[in-house]
Amino acid sequence: MNFTKNITALPFYLLAKLGRTLRSIVLLTMILVISSCAPRSATHGNIPSDDKLSKVSIGVHKRADIKSILGEPSTIGTFEDSVWYYIGRRTEQYAFFKEKIIEQKVVVVIFSDKGIVDQVKLFDQDDLREFSLVERTTPTVGH
């Protein structure tokens, strides 16, 4: 008789266990869904703020001053070291959707022959141009 009670209680025990497991799965799923709704932000490069850019004075500041105000440049001109580039991009991505550009800036600082700021140019997302890369290869000797 005791054996019969244990057999009849078994399905209720399994349902109770399944209930806990099911609750855990539902809770875990809800946590994953909620966490995937938060955007993943990324900043690449150096994006000088408008406040920092307003501190730069044409005809007054030298290279060392610009380094202290804006930081190290992202790159310096290839043929002339009198051109400094500050390049940065901030993006956001929700779950598996395509990454979206939130902010993009290129600040070009041009110095005179005496090393004093001559020009400051600002390019943002509105100046962005799409282009496609050419897939051709250049033949070289031995390859």
**Is the pTM value of this prediction over 0.85?**
no
Most confidently predicted of 13-27, 51-65, 120-134: 51-65
Can you tell me which residue has the tokens 């979206």?
A: 100
Q: What value, to the nearest 5°, has the Cα angle with vertex 36 and ends 35 and 42?
A: 100
Residue 139 — pLDDT band, cuts 50, 70, 90? confident
- Residue (of 70, 75, 57, 76) closest to 116 by Cα position: 57
Q: What's the rounded mean pLDDT across residues 1-27?
A: 62
pLDDT tens, 30-63?
A: 777 666 667 788 888 888 888 999 999 999 999 9
Distance from C-alpha of 100 to C-alpha of 93, rounded to nearest angstrom: 6
Distance from C-alpha of 26 to C-alpha of 32, rounded to nearest angstrom: 10
